[in-house]
Structure 1
Amino acid sequence: MSTTTSLYTPPVSCAVDPGLAHRRATTAVTVRGADGTPLADADVVVEQTGHEFLFGNIGFELVEHATALASGEAGSEHDRAFAERWLDVFNMATMPFYWGTFEPSEGEPRTDELMTASRWFQDQGVLVKGHPLVWHTVQPKWLLGKPLEEVERLQRERIRRDAGGFAGVIDIWDAINEVVIMPVFEAEENGITPLARVKGRVEMIRMAFEEARAANPNATLLLNDFDMSTAYECLIEAVLEAGITIDKLGLQSHQHQGYWGREKTLRILDRFSRYNIPIHFTETTLLSGEPMPKHIVDLNDWRVESWPSTPEGEERQADEVEEWYRTLVSHPQVEAITYWGMGDRGMWLGAPGGLVRTDGTPKPAFDRLRSLVKDEWWTAPTTLRTDAAGRVDVSGFRGGYRVAAAGASAPFTLGAGAEAVEVTLAPTR
């Protein structure tokens, strides 16, 4: 683990809470034996099993591993170790539903492969998210040349097919991605930008949200963008005025040109918190190598043969990761942070932005983040004694818990507003 001095300094804004009271709860738990009788005056062990806060990462890197396991293969030693590290820290996986790679040939989507991988994550207790249902980039070539009416029909069908087909496994989606630039996008020809020019941004968003909700009424839908300017604020306001419900607000934070810093991050949080919509930082990248030059406008334009991680960069990345996560977790409006790739292998743009090196060894940033998530922000197993009514007060970070006694246990949730919980112990498997 890195031993360098942290960049972190206590938050000063009234919007943040370094004590994380908004992440904690206290609940009276009544523990009953298998026969339903309260377990009075007994020692019980209470331990945390999961976080309410969503510490996410992309699941792209583990799709092949998960499908191999499903077919009875053991998987490589590298992939097994990678998966173990991934699952040790993260509890939400974003899966790749880019239309052009998900359905490279019309009518032949990779549904079985992504369903298998998504179910594997779900079996590990991980919340699975789909990204995205509508986007103008990574579009299928077979969509080009079709009339706009046909493009819209196919896009609507695609949303319904995937939001509905994965319901119960994936119930949270980036419904539409990067709409601010969508109608004026010129970097590559695609079938969606012309449709966005005709329909307009708000109606594109309406289409995505209404079709996804019709296919899966229980879905949580995000509006997601990288544009942190007032243009995104204006779009959000127009969407809300149009009567479209945004469940969560997605903010991208790829920091290839340098770390935003705490002050800029808090300014962005102040601006986007005013809508009172829970915020998800959907795509975070922090580099352990040299930053991309500031004059690059479109990050995709920066292509180099080699972009190495360096010892100095890794120490800097660890400090930035710590400050970044502390700042966001301390803000009550933030519900989720998704880091955009755990490993350098296959990283977007070849950037050294992973938390694990190409050889599979963890960088200091991985150790720093794990220490935050599983040590500092984790309630350690504690032995408590019930009262005469079998009750015990449990305090800790909100999330999943287990209470155990005499070879039996039961799960419960420690959440906001839960004044009392009752559990019945069952033999531990």
Structure 2
Amino acid sequence: MNRNKIMCSFREQADMMEDRINLGIESNRKGYIRLNFIDSEGKPINGVSVKIRQKSHHFKFGCNLFKYKCFDSEEENLLYEQKFLGLFNLAVAPFYWNDFEPQKGKPRFEKDSVWIDRRPPSEAVLEFCAENSIEAKGHPLFWPVMSPEWLPENWDGLKHYITKRLKEIATRYDGVIKSFDCINEATTVVLRDHEPHIIEGHYRNFNPLSGNYPEWVFKQTDRFFAESRLVLNETTALSWGSYNKELSNYYLLAEKLIKSGCRVDTIGLQYHNFCAPDNMEELANWAYNPIRLFKVMDCYGNLQRPLSVSEITVPGYDDDMQAEVLYNLYRIWFSHPNMESIIYWNLGDNCAIKKNETWTEQKYMSGLVRNDFSEKPSYKVLDRLINKEWQTNAEYDSRENFLYAKCFYGKYEIEVCKGNTRIKKEIDFTPTGYDEFYIVL
């Protein structure tokens, strides 16, 4: 594995990359706020001291929470939670149908549901999110690859149970869970006309499907979910790999669904580098190529929908290289005007799929922390970006009765002092919300 060859596109394109990153972050992730200082009668007050402290991001930095309360010891569970909270403001809750409802008619909503590794019950995940002011995302509502064995082996029968599942989940969680991956990997799952066999690989559907099932599922979902955002989610190969501008298969599917009236709120672009060390140079030709990455985002941005890098795996064969890759990737993604969230997949090396009949992910060592929860360089890099470089914390002395400040979008605590008077106010600064606020002393 030749690190110089793997990283060559980042380095050869550094001037263009840094220019677009810096311009993009300044114009897309920050804005100007105006603070007006007045007394209780509305009269202006001059000569105040101001402290601006960012409390949270508007942009979503996420990770799956699949290993919540799934470790052998309470110490490990606590370390997992601490490392998660150190970086992320969005948590992905598992809704894989085979483990969510292994027994027909008995969905695993409640915290006391039967324990399944990497599949904490939804109520447990939501409790953690509520306690820590984290947004929840559900994954997925429908994915043929992980369906329960009790489903009927015909499309008409299957539609009945899909509808029932959507209604049950929506009754509890519409608007509570802010977004769901509605359809997962539709352009990757093979639509077979014969009974599948276990040896046929990871991407196999256990039930006959209509070729129009994505449209049908989206429209059924829209019947029950009025508030939660619906995401169309697709694999890395179809999102970034086999890119052919507006003729890309995934682009054509998304465009077709939108034109047919489906409520596709967000376009999900997975970014799993499931790649052996010997193949990393070939992968890097497109996956670690800034020009290619920007072109893909620009193209999918033409659909006039927000984008999400919805699942990320970057191999950790070399800790320092993983950190450098993620440093570049996160800045590229964060800078793009259409991007609304970046979601790493497995927090730790011990959080990935170990091995089942057809698939394993632990061999990629892609975690941001090691098995003992010590931080890899990649964790520290993201911590520096998310919690330091991409936050606004500043102090001002204003001679006027107002102050302009350029800030990252997010929630803030504003502290204003005048003599012995000290006032604190919390504001929510968003791209489409208020940009002018009054502080009454």
TM-score class normalised by the smaller sequence:
0.7 to 0.9
Contact map agreement 2:144 2:207 (CA 8 A) in 1: no
Task: Determine which of 105, 119, 122 is the counterpart of 2:103.
Answer: 105
How big is each residue's C-alpha offset from its partner over 1:139-162, in whole Å with a ceiling of 9 and x where there is no partner?
Answer: 11111x454322111111101211
How far apart, in 2, do the equivalents of 1:222 and 1:243 lie? 14
How big is each residue's C-alpha offset from its partner over 1:30-81, in whole Å with a ceiling of 9 and x where there is no partner?
Answer: 3567x6756823323211111121111111122558xx9xxxxxx7233223
How big is each residue's C-alpha offset from its partner over 1:208-257, in whole Å with a ceiling of 9 and x where there is no partner?
Answer: 32233222211111100102332212212221232223111001110122
How far apart, in 2, do the equivalents of 1:123 and 1:29 lie? 31
Task: Determine which of 70, 75, 78 is the counterpart of 1:77.
Answer: 75
How big is each residue's C-alpha offset from its partner over 1:145-204, in whole Å with a ceiling of 9 and x where there is no partner?
Answer: 4543221111111012113311232020101101113342654699966442xx323xx2
What residue in structure 2 maps to residue 148 of structure 1? Answer: 155
Contact map agreement 2:21 2:335 (CA 8 A) in 1: yes
Q: Which amino acid aligns with 2:305?
A: I
What residue in structure 1 maps to residue 131 of structure 2? Answer: 123
What residue in structure 2 maps to residue 239 of structure 1? Answer: 257
What residue in structure 2 maps to residue 378 of structure 1? Answer: 391
Contact map agreement 1:49 1:401 (CA 8 A) in 2: yes
How far apart, in 1, do the equivalents of 2:327 and 2:399 lie? 37
Change (3 A) 1:240 1:425: same
DSSP-derived class of the 2:257 partner: helix
Post-superposition offset of 1:425:
7.1
Contact map agreement 1:92 1:128 (CA 8 A) in 2: yes
Q: Which amino acid aligns with 1:270?
A: D
DSSP-derived class of the 2:175 partner: coil
How far apart, in 2, do the equivalents of 1:326 and 1:159 lie? 36
What residue in structure 2 maps to residue 90 of structure 1? Answer: 88
1:326 to 2:331 alignment: yes
DSSP-derived class of the 1:233 partner: helix
Q: Which amino acid aligns with 1:220?
A: R
Contact map agreement 1:184 1:193 (CA 8 A) in 2: no
Contact map agreement 1:151 1:191 (CA 8 A) in 2: no
Contact map agreement 2:63 2:346 (CA 8 A) in 1: yes
How far apart, in 2, do the equivalents of 1:324 and 1:272 lie? 17
Q: Which amino acid aligns with 2:233?
A: N
Contact map agreement 1:156 1:207 (CA 8 A) in 2: no
How big is each residue's C-alpha offset from its partner over 1:379-418, in whole Å with a ceiling of 9 and x where there is no partner?
Answer: 1243453743xx3323211111111245642211222255
Q: Which amino acid aligns with 1:416?
A: P
DSSP-derived class of the 1:28 partner: strand
Task: Determine which of 141, 146, 152 is the counterpart of 1:133.
Answer: 141
1:158 to 2:169 alignment: no
How far apart, in 2, do the equivalents of 1:124 and 1:39 lie? 38
1:248 to 2:266 alignment: yes
Change (3 A) 1:276 1:386: farther
DSSP-derived class of the 2:222 partner: helix
How far apart, in 2, do the equivalents of 1:374 and 1:84 lie? 15
Change (3 A) 1:284 1:237: same
What residue in structure 2 maps to residue 221 of structure 1? Answer: 230
How far apart, in 2, do the equivalents of 1:332 and 1:318 lie? 24
What residue in structure 2 maps to residue 283 of structure 1? Answer: 311
1:396 to 2:407 alignment: yes
Tell me the matched-pair count: 384
- RMSD of aligned alpha carbons: 3.0
Contact map agreement 1:152 1:195 (CA 8 A) in 2: no
Change (3 A) 1:239 1:417: closer
How far apart, in 2, do the equivalents of 1:263 and 1:340 lie? 24
What residue in structure 2 maps to residue 345 of structure 1? Answer: 350
Change (3 A) 1:165 1:195: farther
Change (3 A) 1:14 1:372: closer
Change (3 A) 1:99 1:394: same
How far apart, in 2, do the equivalents of 1:217 and 1:347 lie? 33
Post-superposition offset of 1:352:
0.3
Contact map agreement 2:93 2:139 (CA 8 A) in 1: yes
DSSP-derived class of the 2:220 partner: helix
Contact map agreement 1:175 1:223 (CA 8 A) in 2: yes
1:57 to 2:63 alignment: yes
How far apart, in 2, do the equivalents of 1:192 and 1:156 lie? 18
How far apart, in 2, do the equivalents of 1:324 and 1:189 lie? 27
What residue in structure 2 maps to residue 355 of structure 1? Answer: 368
Contact map agreement 1:164 1:212 (CA 8 A) in 2: no
How far apart, in 1, do the equivalents of 2:52 and 2:100 lie? 43
Post-superposition offset of 1:264:
3.3
Q: Which amino acid aligns with 1:315?
A: D
* TM-score, length-scaled by structure 2: 0.79
DSSP-derived class of the 2:133 partner: coil
Larger displacement relative to structure 2 (16-25 or 262-271):
262-271
How far apart, in 1, do the equivalents of 2:128 and 2:440 lie? 27
What residue in structure 1 maps to residue 357 of structure 2? Answer: none
What residue in structure 2 maps to residue 308 of structure 1? Answer: none
Contact map agreement 2:62 2:344 (CA 8 A) in 1: yes
What percentage of residue pairs aligned between the two structures are identical? 23
Change (3 A) 1:386 1:121: farther
Matches within 5 A, 1:3-14: 10=14, 12=16
How far apart, in 2, do the equivalents of 1:192 and 1:161 lie? 23
* Unmatched runs of 5 consecutive residues or more in structure 1: 69-74, 290-312
Contact map agreement 1:48 1:381 (CA 8 A) in 2: no
